[in-house]
Chains A and B, each alone.
Chain A
Amino acid sequence: MKNPTFSKSALLFAALLASGFGIRAEAQDAVTAITNAKIMTVGPLGTIEKGTILIKAGKITAVGADVAVPPGATVIDAAGRVVTPGLIDAHSHTSIEDNVNECTNIVTAEVRVADVLDPKDINLYRELAGGLTAANVLHGSCNSIGGQNATIKLRYGAPSGDALLFQGAPPGIKFALGENPKRASFGGGARRYPATRMGVEVSIRNAFLEAKAYKKEWDDYEAAVKAASAKRPAKGAPAAALPPAPRKDLQMQALKEVLEGKRLVHAHSYRADEILMLINVANEMGFKIATFQHVLEGYKVATEIAKHGAGGSTFSDWWAYKEEAYDAIPYNAAIMASHGVLVSLNSDSDELARRLYWEAAKTVRYGGVSEDEAFKMVTLNPAKQLRIDKWVGSIEVGKDADLAIFRSHPFAPDTRVEMTLVDGKVLFDRSKDVAARKGVAATLGGGQ
């Protein structure tokens, strides 16, 4: 992130921990133990039928069946419950303040979702209540090249938008293909370029040709500066004149970072043709696509997606809501996965984001994905797609204590999330939530 306020956010977050937003402040050496739980680690330890997780300073310090609880630890007894890694949504627009789209230009690579995060968006809390702990918050799909994403942790109530940012997550950017950037299915308004998939291709190629020229300008300048500083002038002689710096263009800067492999491309796509188109443009221009988003016809070109090395982040079963989703099938995730594509299931919705665990379960039904692989699609796989699997996505020693505690197996029809932790802090606790209800809200669910 180029945002200079970013470096500050570590400080802010420390302050946030100290202020104990959510539940309460804890000393850095305090230990939390989750005991007696069935633990689906989604990691090398597999599923532990009855075990303990120790958490210290927001990190997992021990996992296993025979882990001793140190004296003084805060104990969360999870007997009969199932602990999983916090869920991760690889496609979200949650907590964005104001418009999700900067829709006025074909390319808006300069705009940053990180500028407009609202840590008090109630949907963050509602999503925590569905076990979600991290999300890829993306610009909308209004234009061929949209704005810069923000990978966040769902630290609801944090003091600032910056404090939501996932430290260390590489920056990304939204691309969009098909109906949305060509504005095909939206009534009224003047036709804006592009109005066809042909135009979408042109707009992306054109932007990257410009970006390459921009990159060259800066590379040349930086080389000249380096050369000038290397040439040690003779004593008393004037220093070598530096060439004037090129103008800094925030839009081109973001695309330059894509060309340099520093910024992940998340490409909204539906049809097989446009998926292949973008792969070709990327190959021509020399960049990589990190994920195809939605990628509802990914199953038709799974081999090509796998060959490019892109991930696929899809819906479990949405279809027919628009023309380009008419060939969407619920077996998409299964087929892509079987072809070697790294697959995640996303929500693109503050509502669906609350039950991604069941979206994963559908993949068992549609295409016979194993339960372990299915659950990875909402935990470890999105973590890998967002390049944050070093910290999250599975329950392993050293990883962040981002955890969901379910009432029963996350795929079971009576399951629900009882507790969610982010960085070892309990940010959702159903029993406390229910106990705090007053008036008519206390009658909800028949006073269950």
Chain B
Amino acid sequence: MNRHPRPGLALRAVTGLVGAALIGLSPAAEAAKVPSYAITKAKVITVSGAVIDNATVVLRDGVVVDVGPSVTIPKDARVIDGTGLTLTPGLIDAYSGAGMPAARPAGGGAGGGAAAAAPAPNPIAPASNIYERVRAADALKARDSGITTIVPVPREGLVFGAAAVMNLVGERPEGMVVKQNIALAASLTTLGQRYPGSLMGTMAFFRQALMDGAYHRAEMASYEKAPGGRRRPAFDPGLDVWADVASGALPLLLQTSRVGDLRRAFGLADEFKLKVVLAGNTQAFEEAALLKERKPSLLVSVNFDPPKAGGFFGGSDDDKDRAEIESAEKNPGALHKEGIRFALVSGFANDFLAGIRKAIEKGLPKDAALRAVTLTPAEILGVADRMGSIDKGKIANVVVWSGEPLTKEAKIKMVFVDGELYEPEEKPAGPPGGGPPRPGEVAGDVRAQIEVKR
């Protein structure tokens, strides 16, 4: 598909044509059209092993078929001279807003004078599939940042549904799915005017949901054993999902934004014997000792200055806000120094690369940063057997850089996803289009705070 979008009408026409041409083709059929590539004389950072200078990487049928200093180049392969270029595994953003609709403003508009907000999608949707909500064309823009794989997460809501690992390729979300239902994604957030409207309520909600899931499972099983003479229990796909989480069969991918959320999540995990993956954690270094002890699956956001609906009481504490941003920027470096394993994620930040660079600038070694956006997330997501490094047999997700990867000077020349070549357009400065600019870090319902507590 190697198309170079150009602004204007022509683009739409081209897209329309290509889209139409692909309708009805299975992913396999699409893949079949992908040519083979051999990138030669390049520096290859495999991440899993050594850095190989002057190496060749062969991509074919969507996989890395060979990598090394002396490999045979297949005859049908298109040869790309990689002199002066560096190859890394495709970046994995394991908590991404790419392809997800923008969040609505905070508050609830109960009687407010502001324009009515768009109706929200169901904020509690355990039985839904997140991948179905992905707008493929928007999501694909993340390739401009060298991202080949995402775990998309809605920017608002409480229980998002089944999370999927998706490769940024193709036209339709289902075709992008590498692995479906890796976890139930949810957030330790609040829903403002709707239950739960407080963090206390959110904790109670999760507890009750997990208990109800387990209860539902037991009830169903008991009915199956002896259905005669008993009222049929109601089918509830949502409770079924909670039952899977409660039994430990399905991990809970939980957004933990506050420092205290770590302990809250561990508390739930201990109480219900859950497997948890924790996403957000921009101040997690404060709990370094705890993290060393618990060794959780940790996704650390580079969204250092998330939007908040604050400051309207006139009493904003700029010192505090500034300090929080600075400590969030130092967080990845500090965690690394403590030997804590984590993946870096965009966490809805507009510019993932800028966030990674900031983390490097504030103390995260470059090689650690690269691992934190390739192999480590692949391991955490349970897909390290197929991606996360440039190794023979792995999915052909590869980024070709000029200049040193993840530095400000680096340019992304080519991005291979499932072996398919995408060449980002040379752009003037500014964040690449990583999706709409309103991350989901809304400040919850502040209504209660303005009420006299007396």
A interface vs B, CB < 8 Å?
A: 3-5, 8, 93, 97-105, 108, 110-113, 115-118, 120, 139-142, 147, 159-162, 180, 186-190, 244, 247-250, 294, 315, 318, 321-322, 325, 348-349
Query: Chain A residue with minimal CB distance to B203?
Result: A115
Binary per-residue interface labels of chain B (206-239) against chain A in the complex, 1 for a CB within 8 Å, 0 otherwise: 0110011001000100100000000000000000
Partner of A97 from the list B191, B199, B448, B454 (CB cut-off 8 Å) is: B199
Q: Is B199 within 8 A of A348, CB to CB?
A: no
User: 5 pairs across A/B with beta carbons < 8 Å?
Assistant: A102-B196, A110-B204, A247-B212, A250-B207, A349-B454
Q: Is A294 within 8 A of B448, CB to CB?
A: no
Q: How far is the CA of A110 from the CA of B208 in the complex (A)?
A: 9
A203: min CB distance to chain B, Å: 16
Binds A, one of B26-34, B259-267, B294-302, B308-316: B259-267
Q: Is B110 within 8 A of A112, CB to CB?
A: no
Q: Within 8 Å CB of B451, what residues of A?
A: 101, 140, 142, 180, 186
Q: Does chain A have a CB within 8 A of B86?
A: no
Other 10 A-B pairs with CB < 8 A, given A4-B267, A190-B110, A250-B211: A3-B267, A5-B267, A97-B199, A98-B200, A102-B197, A111-B200, A118-B260, A147-B204, A244-B219, A247-B212
Interface of B is mostly: helix
Q: How far is the CA of A3 from the CA of B207 in the complex (A)?
A: 11
Q: How far is the CA of A40 from the CA of B181 in the complex (A)?
A: 64
B interface vs A, CB < 8 Å?
A: 110-112, 190-191, 193-201, 203-204, 207-208, 211-212, 215, 219, 222, 258-260, 263-264, 267, 270-271, 290, 444-449, 451-454
Q: Within 8 Å CB of A321, what residues of B?
A: 452, 454
Partner of A102 from the list B195, B271, B446 (CB cut-off 8 Å) is: B195
Query: Chain A residue with minimal CB distance to B199?
Result: A98
Partner of A112 from the list B200, B290, B444 (CB cut-off 8 Å) is: B200
Query: Of B263, B267, B454, which is in contact with the most chain A CB atoms at under 10 Å from its CB?
Result: B454
Beyond A97-B258, A99-B445, whether A147 also contacts B200 by CB under 8 A is yes
Interface of A is mostly: loop
Q: How far is the CA of A99 from the CA of B448 in the complex (A)?
A: 6
Q: How far is the CA of A112 from the CA of B260 in the complex (A)?
A: 15
Query: Of A104, A140, A147, A325, which is in contact with the most chain B CB atoms at under 10 Å from its CB?
Result: A104
Beyond A99-B445, A115-B203, A250-B207, whether A348 also contacts B197 by CB under 8 A is no
Query: Chain B residue with minimal CB distance to A113?
Result: B200
A139: min CB distance to chain B, Å: 7
Q: Is A101 within 8 A of B195, CB to CB?
A: no
Q: Within 8 Å CB of A5, what residues of B?
A: 267, 270-271
Query: Of B200, B207, B211, B267, which is in contact with the most chain A CB atoms at under 10 Å from its CB?
Result: B200
Q: Is B260 within 8 A of A4, CB to CB?
A: no
B210: min CB distance to chain A, Å: 11
Q: Is A99 within 8 A of B197, CB to CB?
A: yes
Partner of B197 from the list A8, A97, A104, A118 (CB cut-off 8 Å) is: A104
Q: Within 8 Å CB of A190, what residues of B?
A: 110-111
Q: Is A98 within 8 A of B204, CB to CB?
A: no
Q: Is A348 within 8 A of B454, CB to CB?
A: yes
Q: Is B199 within 8 A of A116, CB to CB?
A: yes
B157: min CB distance to chain A, Å: 15
Q: Is B198 within 8 A of A103, CB to CB?
A: yes
Q: Within 8 Å CB of A97, what residues of B?
A: 199, 258, 260
Partner of B264 from the list A105, A113, A115, A247 (CB cut-off 8 Å) is: A115
Q: Is A115 within 8 A of B200, CB to CB?
A: yes
